[in-house]
Chain A
């Protein structure tokens, strides 16, 4: 499954209302000198937290927010699944840049399947390195869905798709057969 990323200018946070949550996390990062404060709890369920990294790989994940795109669109094993797909190194680059103190805003496009089972997931993500009040680094990621397209011409909002089956997307987006796992045992029928 091909995955690609495209860097976006941070100015987009000011102009695209869809990115309001990313914009607020970026504001906190800037105004609080990259220190984590309880203000971030406003977005707690939407955040994915990682360890800082010095390698070109998706770092170890600490927390996958209950309402995060990663949780709902990619399933629990997406970090490992990435490495079975072309373009995964592009995904990893953003974390490394963030670990060096850069604010990374980029669009990620994931394509899986063919024909009517083809899925295109496109989302924008902001990756920032915060520090605890004791100055230990953590990577924060927050995403906003751009669009999700199923089949040749059917476009659905993530909300409507998730309302049918929250884990369904994980099967398709990362192209893994998890139908044998208990968590996904009820989710394979709808799209497959």
Chain B
């Protein structure tokens, strides 16, 4: 099994519904997991630029779906990691 033991134990994060908007949630998770470059790759793929405030509705939906799935995997990984340390 890959050695995940060195993964930084993230501080307790709020559940998704405690954020005012999806953007705030994504921003928090991006910072939590260090996903800035990944977020940029997804943004460029979905909209051709990284200014989320200028995303069209369709661009945002595409971005939110793709990036949301990635974030959810990291949240799950962090939960698993924390569980392994309990």
**Given A62-B69, A66-B45, A134:B34 Cβ within 8 A:** yes
Complex Cα distance, B4 from A132, in Å, reads: 13
Which residues from B are CB-within-8-Å of A132?
33-35, 37-38
What number of B residues sit within 8 Å (CB to CB) of A? 26
**Given A134-B10, A135-B6, A136-B77, A63:B37 Cβ within 8 A:** no
Chain B contact residues: helix, strand, loop or mixed:
helix
Interface contact B73-A62, CB-CB below 8 Å: yes
Interface contact B37-A37, CB-CB below 8 Å: yes
- With an 8 A cutoff between CB atoms, is B60 at the interface? no
Which residues from A are CB-within-8-Å of B44?
41, 44-45
Closest to B35 in A: A132
Most chain B CB neighbours (cut-off 10 Å) among A38, A47, A137? A137
Interface contact A47-B10, CB-CB below 8 Å: no
Interface contact B40-A41, CB-CB below 8 Å: yes
Which residues from B are CB-within-8-Å of A135?
6-8, 34
Contact with A along B16-50 (1 / 0, CB 8 A): 00000000000000001111111011101100000
- With an 8 A cutoff between CB atoms, is A60 at the interface? yes
Closest to B44 in A: A44
Find residues 57-84 in chain B having any chain A CB closer than 8 Å to their own CB. Answer: 66, 69-70, 73-74, 77-78
Contact with B along A10-41 (1 / 0, CB 8 A): 00000000000000000000000000111011
- With an 8 A cutoff between CB atoms, is A143 at the interface? no
- With an 8 A cutoff between CB atoms, is B14 at the interface? no
Interface contact A45-B45, CB-CB below 8 Å: yes
Cβ distance B34 to chain A, nearest Cβ, rounded Å: 3
Which residues from B are CB-within-8-Å of A63?
38, 41-42, 45, 66, 70
Interface contact B38-A60, CB-CB below 8 Å: no
| B residues whose Cβ falls under 8 Å from a Cβ of A | 1-2, 4, 6-8, 10, 32-38, 40-42, 44-45, 66, 69-70, 73-74, 77-78
